[in-house]
Amino acid sequence: MKVTCSHFTLALTVSLYRLIHFYAIEQIEAARRIEKLIQYKLNSKKSGDMTRNSDVGMRDSVGSDGEPPMGDKTAENTSNGAEALPGTESEAWAKESIEKLVDIRQRIINTMTMAYELQMMKIFSREYDITVFLRQMVVSFVEEHFVNLFTPASTGEQSNIILTTAGNQTSVYNLLGPKVILTRFKSLLHAANTALSCLDCHISTALRTILFKECCDLSMAPPGIPPAKLSANSLGEMIPKTEIEYWGNLLWSIVDWFSKLCHQVVSGDSLANNSDANNTLLWVPYLNSIVRPNVSVQGNIAPTRGTGRSNSVVASFFNNQVTNNLFNNAISLESIALESFLSRQELGSLCQIIGVQGVRVLDQDLLTTIIEKVRAALSMF
Amino acid sequence: MEPYDIWWFRDKVVECFQNSMNSTSRQSFRASALITFLPSVRYALCLSNQIETERIKLSIEFFMDDRMNELGTHVITLIKLFWGHLQALENQVTQVRTQVNGRPQLTLAHTLAKTCY
């Protein structure tokens, strides 16, 4: 009986010891893991702060040698004191940004859900419908910012596209292409839709109203109707003139801006190069855009990269313009020419914004200009 | 104590409302439901005293207007923040997309967007 008891005590002691040992190892492992995590977080925060202080909102996600960012290797390297891999700052910054984004999204959803639950209240003779009120606020915010995307900001909050390029040639830094505007607008719609989706509402309805109001010229016949029928049965006759002047204001501003841009590029007043030698414009089918060949100072066209056989102007473009502007990290804004805004991509983005009616207005405006130019040229003979 | 007595603790109502707007958890938003008790104030009014009734009615309306404006401003601020973060991330992704054969290619739109953030 004694032996059994001592055996039992021994076995219990051993198992207890094993349990404690196992528990201790677990604790040590957990502590190590936490320590590693804290170290990684500290390094990430440090690199994130560094990038935030560099006053550039968009960080390079790849380094100079083009290596993609790596997750765990980065942490290893930074914890070992080695030089951080390219893209570490960007990764840390993106992680922080995504966390903030998720947090803000949750707050929006919470607020909107609360507003939706409160519904309507009647206080004496006044009715407060919080859902409708918030919906109106969001829609008016989108509408206001849609117009502001195309006009210079008076408050300096955002720098936007310039609708008058002819007089303000020095302010190229504020000139944003339609592609950037479209991206911003998409982000705005996404943000607004996040809020509106909690109120059983979709942004598409509001967007249709905004686009119809800002980018539709009611004095023009709708698509599919020939211009001859315009005077007989047009919306313009049914709506007062003051309202017609107001409707489509933004559309005409955009068309005016684009038309002036075309004039400026054709006349050779590019901001990039003002010398006469560089003012020859070419249409390159391969790039689907108008380009300005880069001519050397002596007036000779630079040889083609690689084979060196062709001496054409297009070849010199590929040699210099593409190499300098697309493959060089240190691109300067001074090297951007106005004709870059006339590329197919930029025009496609612009057409997406202004819609069918806008394209028709733009087309009509450009055709009028071309007809005038041709007439002027013919009158010389 | 009746629900309409909440009118006499307006500071608390405002505090709860603001706290619930600034909080991130969903449960704390229930505190903002305090304003739903405000319509019941009319039961506490002495209808024979017209001056007092009008005065309280006006002050409640002003109070509610302020809260509604506050809520609207708060939502717009959040949307602006969300837009900013979304745009910044979008710009970064755009840059990643433009790299070909391991070499980053800066597009015109990308370069210009860089100057604005």
So what's the ipTM on this one?
0.74
pLDDT at A156: 42
Whether residue B49 lies within 8 A of chain A, CB to CB, comes out as: no
Pairing verdict, β A282-284 and A289-291: antiparallel
* Mean pLDDT of the region A96-109: 85
Q: How confident is the model at residue A205 (pLDDT cuts 50, 70, 90)?
A: confident
Rounded to a whole number of angstroms, the distance from the CA of A359 to the nearest CA of chain B is: 22
- A190-199, A243-252, B31-40, B95-104: the lowest-pLDDT one: B95-104
For residue A135, the SS3 value is helix
Higher-confidence residue: A282 or A355? A355
* A111–B74 C-beta distance less than 8 A: yes
Higher-confidence residue: A212 or A340? A212
pLDDT at A249: 67
Query: Phi and psi of A291, rounded to 5°?
Result: -130, 160
pLDDT at B76: 92
Q: Minimal CA–CA distance to A101: which of B34, B35, B87?
A: B87
Q: How confident is the model at residue A151 (pLDDT cuts 50, 70, 90)?
A: low
Q: Minimal CA–CA distance to B38: which of B18, B20, B56?
A: B56
B-chain CB neighbours of A187 within 8 Å are 83, 86-87, 90
Q: How confident is the model at residue A312 (pLDDT cuts 50, 70, 90)?
A: very low
How many contacts does A have with B, using Cβ atoms within 8 A? Answer: 179
pLDDT at B26: 61
Interface of B with A in 52-91 (CB under 8 A): 57, 60-61, 64, 68, 71-72, 74-76, 78-83, 85-91
Higher-confidence residue: A47 or B88? B88
If you measure CA to CA, which chain B residue comes closest to A192? Answer: B79
pLDDT at A211: 80
Residue A254 makes CB contacts below 8 A (sequence gap 6+) with A150, A163, A215, A350, A353, A354, A358, A362
Q: Are A157 and A184 in contact (CB under 8 A)?
A: no
Measured between its terminal Cα atoms, the distance across chain A in Å is 130
- A67-71, A166-170, A253-257, A263-267: the lowest-pLDDT one: A67-71
Rounded to a whole number of angstroms, the distance from the CA of B96 to the nearest CA of chain A is: 6
The pLDDT of residue A119 is above 60: yes
* B39–A121 C-beta distance less than 8 A: yes
Higher-confidence residue: A134 or A120? A134
* Mean pLDDT of the region A356-361: 80
pLDDT at A372: 84
B-chain CB neighbours of A107 within 8 Å are 24, 78
pLDDT at A182: 82
Higher-confidence residue: A222 or A344? A344
Token pair for residue B4? 């309409």
The pLDDT of residue A301 is above 70: no
* A191–B86 C-beta distance less than 8 A: yes
pLDDT at B13: 78
* Mean pLDDT of the region B102-114: 49
Mean pLDDT, rounded, of chain A:
63
Instruction: Kindly calculate the radius of gyration of chain A based on its CA atoms and give it in whole angstroms.
Output: 32
What whole-number percentage of chain A has pLDDT above 90?
0
- A233-237, A364-368, B68-72: the lowest-pLDDT one: A233-237
Supply angle C-alpha A323, A324, A330, rounded to 5. Answer: 130
- Report in angstroms the alpha-carbon separations of B89 from A100, B48, B116: 11, 62, 14
**Helices A203-214 + A130-148 axis angle, to 10:** 40
The pLDDT of residue A161 is above 80: no
* Mean pLDDT of the region B77-101: 75
According to DSSP, residue B74 is labeled H
* A177–B112 C-beta distance less than 8 A: yes
pLDDT at B79: 92
Instruction: Kindly calculate the radius of gyration of chain B based on its CA atoms and give it in whole angstroms.
Output: 24
